[in-house]
Structure 1
Amino acid sequence: MRGGPPQAEQPDDGEGQAVLGTGPSSLYAHIVNKDDIDGLLIGRLCAQIVLPEPDPDAWQDQIRDVCAQLRDQYLKYPGVFRAALAMMPTNLDTLRVNEGLLAILLSGGIAPRTAAWAIDTLSLYVGAYALERSLLVQRQRREGDDWVLSRDDLVGRFEALPSDRFPQIRQHAGELTAGSGHDRFDFALGLIIGNLAHA
């Protein structure tokens, strides 16, 4: 649809309209195509992000906090983050967040190109994490989607695998399924942020 006239397709389940506080007819009176809608949606969410004053002594915690805010905004409106994965940031509110992230990273002594690529990496990870979480929640709500297993069920399946073919998975089933809340999100951010100075 890039560059073409607006079609009947709307943001998932009317969530985009809810975020922008408008309906389809008034929305299309002010935008060119669906790409414009995506930019407005992500910009509206980014406007809610609180950016700290860059602190060289706390830059890693500041980056984690901004990423967690973005994660929570995406999870509040499942489906909206799909737009973020496929767009270049041009909305001023979106650029404000990128400006803030860049300022934080530079204050921590991160080289400019490394900082720029880190913003891209972090944005992709936050979006992908939100996508995974929202898909899981959607499938848990559907009747008949019994493939969504509890941790105990998953551990049981791993431990029942043939020991000659899957010895490591059997032995470490607990570790493979460990974590609650956003533990894995925090772990992945730690890996990315902790290695920036050496990139």
Structure 2
Amino acid sequence: MGLDRTTVVTAALELLDEAGLDKLTMRKVAERLGVQLNTVYWHASSKPRLLELMADTMLDGCADEPLPQPWEERARTLAGRYRAALLARRDGARVVAGTHVTEDHTLRFADALTGAFLSGGLAPAEAAWRTWALVYFTLGLVQEEQAGCGAGSRESLRQAAADGRYPALAVAVPHFGDFEDRFGHGVGLLVDGRTREPARRRD
């Protein structure tokens, strides 16, 4: 059976969605494709390499035009697309967080985000660090979101902080907001230093 790298990566992403990252193996990719294991290794020399290719494929389209012209809105849009791409795949943030990708889709996204900061007048060093900070922030937040750390974990934290030993947390926890709130607030800080009032407050 003749196949190419794209077919291998597509099969791996399908398995990721079905079973999750912990159960994804090169052998299962080969079984899905009906080929010998060494055929998969021909297109992806190791599981880490396969994960790099999967991570890059997940970002396909993230940097595509049209994008807003104002640099702040462009950066926010790119950040939103990045989060959406991670959320679109089961364990998507875990896959990307464990890789160091130098493939086209990833580089195009990084170039577009860094370019947005540069067009806002930031020095190259500052543009680089804001790009890294925004990527790391989004990866960490989405990992929590995909792990199911939602309202239940917030309620547990509120109960733990309610005994008087953690007064600052007791005051702040009701305002933590959901993942949309946290993402919007964090992106606002990282893009241009402005905060955003959470859309909804929870008691």
Q: Flag whether TM exceeds 0.5 (same fold).
A: yes
The answer (yes or no) to whether the contact 1:55–1:108 under 8 Å persists in 2 is no
Aligned counterpart for 2:127 among listed residues 106, 115, 122:
115
Task: Select the structure that is richer in helix.
Answer: 2
- Could you say which residue in structure 2 is the equivalent of 1:149? 152
Provide structure 2 residue ranges, at least 5 long, that are not aligned to the other structure: 1-11, 20-27, 31-36, 195-203
- Quote the residue 1:23 is aligned against: 29
Q: Which amino acid aligns with 1:85?
A: A
How far is 1:36 from its partner? 1.7
Identity %: 22
Structure 1 unmatched runs, 5+: 1-10, 141-147
The 1:70–1:102 alpha-carbon spacing in structure 2 relative to 1, beyond 3 Å, is same
Higher relative contact order (CA 8 A, sep 6+): 1
- TM-superposition CA deviations, 1:95-126 (whole Å, max 9, x none): 11111112111111111111112111111111
Q: Which structure 2 residues correspond to residues 1-199 of structure 1 after superposition, within 5 A?
A: 14-15=15-16, 23-24=29-30, 25=37, 26-52=39-65, 58-136=70-148, 149=152, 155=158, 158-159=161-162, 161=163, 163=164, 165-175=165-175, 178-195=176-193
What CA distance in whole angstroms lies between the structure 1 residues aligned with 2:100 and 2:59? 14
How many residues in Structure 1 have an aligned counterpart in Structure 2? 169
The 3-state SS of whatever aligns with 1:182 is helix
Which secondary structure does the structure 1 equivalent of 2:43 belong to? coil
1:13 CA displacement: 8.5
The alpha carbon displacement at 1:157 in A equals 5.2
User: What one-letter code is carried by the residue in structure 2 that aligns with 1:189?
Assistant: V
Residues 36, 172 of structure 1: alpha-carbon distance in 2 compared, 3 angstrom cutoff:
closer
RMSD: 3.3
